[in-house]
A and B are shown apart, each in its own frame.
Chain A
Amino acid sequence: MAHFDTEYQRLEASYSDSPPGEENLLMHVPEGAKSQWHHIENLDLWDLFRFSLTYFYVYNLHQKNGFTCMLLGEIFELVQLVFVVGFTVFLANCVDYDILFANKFVNHTDSSKVTLPDAFVPVDVCSARIRDNAFVIFVLMISGVFWLHRLVKFIYNVCCYWEIRSFYIHALKMTMSELPYATWQEVQARIVEIQKEHQICIHKKELTELDIYHRILRFKNYMVAMVNKSLLPVRFRLPLLGDVVFFTRGLKYNFELIFFWGPGSLFENEWSLKPEYKRGGNRLELADRLASRILWIGVANLLLCPVILVWQILYAFFSYTEVIKREPGSLGARCWSLYGRCYLRHFNELDHELMSRLSKGYKAASKYMNCFLSPLLTVVAKNVAFFAGSLLAVLIALTIYDEDVLAVEHVLSSITLLGVCITVCRSFIPDKHMVFCPKQLLRVILAHIHYMPDHWQGNAHRYETRDQFSQVFQYKAVRQNCLKLLSPVVTPIILIFCLRRKSLEIIDFFRNFTVEVVGVGDTCSFAQMDIRQHGHPAWMSEGKTEASIYQQAEDGKTELSLMHFAITNPQWQPPRETTHFISQLKERVQREATGAPSDAHPLSLSESEPRSLIANLLVAPSTLASVHFGRDGSSSGHAVVASDAVAALRSLSPISSSLPLRGSFSAAYRTAGHASTMNRTMAGSGTDARTLSSGSSAWEAQLTSLVLSEYASTEMSIHALYIHELHKQQSRCDALSRHTWHRQESDESSDSIPDEVKSVSGSRYKHFPRSHTFPTTVPSPTAIPSSASEGAAAPETMSSRQGDGKVTRSARVPMGGWAEESHQSAPRRPESLPEESSEDEMPPHVHKVALKN
Chain B
Amino acid sequence: MIAQVFILSSKGDRLVYKDFRGDIGSDAVGLFYDKVTALTGDQPPVVMTHRNVHFVHVWQGGLYLVATTIAADSSPFAIIDFLNRLAALIKDYCGALSEKTVQMNFALIYELLDEMLDYGYVQSTSCDVLKNFIQTEALSSRPFSLLDLANVGLFGADTQQSKVAPSSAATRPLQGGKSEIFVDVIERMSVVMSTSGVLMKAEVEGEVKVKCFLPSCSEIRIGLNEDLSVGGSHLAGYGAAVRVDECSFHPAVRLDDFEAHRILRISPGQGEQSVMQYRLADRLPLAPPFRLFPAIEKDAAGRLLMFFKLRCDLPPKSSAVNVSASIRVPNGCISLSQELSSPDQSAELQPQNRAVVWKVPRFPGGTQLSAVFKLDIPALSSASMMEVGPVCLTFELPKVTASGLHVRFLRLVPTQHRGPTQRWVRYVTHSDSYAIRI
A contact set with B: CB distance below 8 Å: 1-11, 13-14, 17-21, 33, 36-37, 39-43, 47, 50, 53-54, 159-160, 163-164, 166-167, 170-171, 198-200, 202, 851, 853
Q: How far is the CA of A588 from the CA of B154 in the complex (A)?
A: 52
Q: How far is the CA of A798 from the CA of B427 in the complex (A)?
A: 64
Interface residue SS majority, chain B: strand
B160:A17 contact, CB within 8 angstroms: no
Name the one of A7, A54, A160 contacting B398, with C-beta atoms under 8 angstroms: A7
Indicate whether B407 reaches chain A with its CB closer than 8 angstroms: yes
Which residues of B145-182 are within 8 A (CB) of A?
A: 154-160, 162-167, 169-170, 182
A8:B164 contact, CB within 8 angstroms: yes
- Please give me the residue from chain B that is nearest to A20 by CB atom: B261
| Residues of B with C-beta under 8 A to A33 | 414
| Residues of B with C-beta under 8 A to A13 | 409, 423
| Residues of B with C-beta under 8 A to A21 | 261
Q: A7-B398, A8-B170 are in contact. Are A171 and B157 (CB under 8 A)?
A: yes
| Residues of A with C-beta under 8 A to B418 | 39-40
Interface size on B, residues (CB 8 A): 51
Q: How far is the CA of A198 from the CA of B157 in the complex (A)?
A: 11
Which residues of B404-438 are within 8 A (CB) of A?
A: 406-412, 414, 418-428, 430
Name the one of A11, A164, A200 contacting B407, with C-beta atoms under 8 angstroms: A11
B158:A9 contact, CB within 8 angstroms: no
Indicate whether B321 reaches chain A with its CB closer than 8 angstroms: yes
Q: How far is the CA of A33 from the CA of B413 in the complex (A)?
A: 10
Indicate whether B298 reaches chain A with its CB closer than 8 angstroms: no
B154:A159 contact, CB within 8 angstroms: yes
Indicate whether B263 reaches chain A with its CB closer than 8 angstroms: yes
Give the one of A8, A9, A166 with max B CB within 10 A: A8
| Residues of A with C-beta under 8 A to B182 | 8
Q: A4-B428, A5-B321, A8-B167 are in contact. Are A17 and B422 (CB under 8 A)?
A: no
| Residues of A with C-beta under 8 A to B157 | 54, 163-164, 166-167, 170-171, 200
In the assembled complex, the CB of A485 is this many whole angstroms from the nearest CB of chain B, namely 39
A43:B422 contact, CB within 8 angstroms: yes
Indicate whether B223 reaches chain A with its CB closer than 8 angstroms: yes
- Please give me the residue from chain A that is nearest to B163 by CB atom: A10
Q: List 22 A-B contacts (CB under 8 A).
A: A1-B184, A4-B398, A4-B426, A6-B167, A7-B164, A8-B164, A8-B165, A8-B166, A8-B425, A8-B426, A9-B399, A10-B422, A10-B425, A13-B409, A39-B418, A54-B157, A160-B155, A167-B158, A170-B157, A198-B158, A198-B160, A199-B163
* The 3 residue pairs across chains A and B that have the minimum distance between CB atoms: A17-B409, A167-B157, A6-B398
B155:A159 contact, CB within 8 angstroms: yes
B420:A7 contact, CB within 8 angstroms: no
B166:A7 contact, CB within 8 angstroms: yes
- Please give me the residue from chain B that is nearest to A199 by CB atom: B163
Q: How far is the CA of A50 from the CA of B153 in the complex (A)?
A: 11
In the assembled complex, the CB of A366 is this many whole angstroms from the nearest CB of chain B, namely 43
B414:A9 contact, CB within 8 angstroms: no
B424:A11 contact, CB within 8 angstroms: yes
Indicate whether B209 reaches chain A with its CB closer than 8 angstroms: yes
Q: A37-B414, A202-B163 are in contact. Are A50 and B155 (CB under 8 A)?
A: yes
Indicate whether B347 reaches chain A with its CB closer than 8 angstroms: no
In the assembled complex, the CB of B323 is this many whole angstroms from the nearest CB of chain A, namely 12
B166:A851 contact, CB within 8 angstroms: no
| Residues of B with C-beta under 8 A to A851 | 408-409
**Per-residue interface assignment for chain B, residues 227 to 264, with 1 indicating a CB less than 8 Å from any chain A CB and 0 otherwise:** 00000000000000000000000000000010001010
B425:A5 contact, CB within 8 angstroms: no
In the assembled complex, the CB of B345 is this many whole angstroms from the nearest CB of chain A, namely 17
Q: How far is the CA of A577 from the CA of B186 in the complex (A)?
A: 43
A202:B159 contact, CB within 8 angstroms: yes
| Residues of A with C-beta under 8 A to B420 | 40-43
Q: A14-B409, A171-B158, A198-B158 are in contact. Are A5 and B261 (CB under 8 A)?
A: no
Q: How far is the CA of A54 from the CA of B257 in the complex (A)?
A: 39
Q: How far is the CA of A21 from the CA of B163 in the complex (A)?
A: 29
Q: A198-B160, A200-B157, A202-B159 are in contact. Are A9 and B424 (CB under 8 A)?
A: yes
| Residues of B with C-beta under 8 A to A7 | 164-167, 398, 426
- Please give me the residue from chain B that is nearest to A170 by CB atom: B158
| Residues of B with C-beta under 8 A to A53 | 155
Q: How far is the CA of A7 from the CA of B420 in the complex (A)?
A: 21
Q: A7-B165, A9-B426 are in contact. Are A200 and B184 (CB under 8 A)?
A: no
Q: How far is the CA of A167 from the CA of B157 in the complex (A)?
A: 6
| Residues of B with C-beta under 8 A to A2 | 430
Q: How far is the CA of A5 from the CA of B272 in the complex (A)?
A: 19
| Residues of A with C-beta under 8 A to B158 | 167, 170-171, 198, 200
Q: How far is the CA of A103 from the CA of B114 in the complex (A)?
A: 103
Indicate whether B2 reaches chain A with its CB closer than 8 angstroms: no
| Residues of A with C-beta under 8 A to B321 | 5-6
| Residues of A with C-beta under 8 A to B209 | 1
| Residues of A with C-beta under 8 A to B292 | none
- Please give me the residue from chain A that is nearest to B183 by CB atom: A11
| Residues of A with C-beta under 8 A to B162 | 10, 47
Q: How far is the CA of A689 from the CA of B227 in the complex (A)?
A: 48
B409:A10 contact, CB within 8 angstroms: no
Q: How far is the CA of A199 from the CA of B406 in the complex (A)?
A: 19
| Residues of B with C-beta under 8 A to A20 | 261
- Please give me the residue from chain B that is nearest to A19 by CB atom: B261
Q: How far is the CA of A42 from the CA of B420 in the complex (A)?
A: 6
B155:A1 contact, CB within 8 angstroms: no
Known: A9-B163, A11-B183, A163-B157. 8 other contacts (CB 8 A): A1-B184, A4-B398, A8-B182, A10-B162, A37-B414, A40-B412, A43-B422, A167-B158
| Residues of A with C-beta under 8 A to B407 | 11
Q: How far is the CA of A54 from the CA of B154 in the complex (A)?
A: 12
In the assembled complex, the CB of A285 is this many whole angstroms from the nearest CB of chain B, namely 26
In the assembled complex, the CB of B359 is this many whole angstroms from the nearest CB of chain A, namely 14
B414:A200 contact, CB within 8 angstroms: no
Name the one of B159, B261, B396 contacting A6, with C-beta atoms under 8 angstroms: B396
A54:B155 contact, CB within 8 angstroms: yes
Indicate whether B341 reaches chain A with its CB closer than 8 angstroms: no
Name the one of A4, A11, A164 contacting B430, with C-beta atoms under 8 angstroms: A4
Q: A36-B414, A50-B155 are in contact. Are A8 and B430 (CB under 8 A)?
A: no
In the assembled complex, the CB of B265 is this many whole angstroms from the nearest CB of chain A, namely 11
Q: A9-B424, A40-B421 are in contact. Are A4 and B155 (CB under 8 A)?
A: no
Q: How far is the CA of A18 from the CA of B406 in the complex (A)?
A: 15
B399:A4 contact, CB within 8 angstroms: no
| Residues of A with C-beta under 8 A to B322 | 5
A10:B164 contact, CB within 8 angstroms: yes
In the assembled complex, the CB of B224 is this many whole angstroms from the nearest CB of chain A, namely 11
| Residues of B with C-beta under 8 A to A47 | 159, 162
Q: A14-B409, A54-B155 are in contact. Are A6 and B427 (CB under 8 A)?
A: yes
| Residues of B with C-beta under 8 A to A167 | 157-158
| Residues of B with C-beta under 8 A to A160 | 155
A9:B164 contact, CB within 8 angstroms: yes
- Please give me the residue from chain B that is nearest to A37 by CB atom: B414
- Please give me the residue from chain B that is nearest to A14 by CB atom: B409
Q: How far is the CA of A732 from the CA of B426 in the complex (A)?
A: 65
B164:A17 contact, CB within 8 angstroms: no
Give the one of B184, B411, B412, B428 with max A CB within 10 A: B411
In the assembled complex, the CB of A31 is this many whole angstroms from the nearest CB of chain B, namely 13
**Per-residue interface assignment for chain B, residues 186 to 218, with 1 indicating a CB less than 8 Å from any chain A CB and 0 otherwise:** 100000000000000000000001000000000
Q: How far is the CA of A17 from the CA of B184 in the complex (A)?
A: 18
| Residues of B with C-beta under 8 A to A164 | 157
In the assembled complex, the CB of B89 is this many whole angstroms from the nearest CB of chain A, namely 14
| Residues of A with C-beta under 8 A to B411 | 17-18
Name the one of A8, A36, A170, A202 contacting B424, with C-beta atoms under 8 angstroms: A8
Which residues of B288-341 are within 8 A (CB) of A?
A: 321-322
Q: How far is the CA of A7 from the CA of B167 in the complex (A)?
A: 5
Q: How far is the CA of A40 from the CA of B181 in the complex (A)?
A: 13
In the assembled complex, the CB of A200 is this many whole angstroms from the nearest CB of chain B, namely 7
Give the one of B167, B170, B410 with max A CB within 10 A: B167
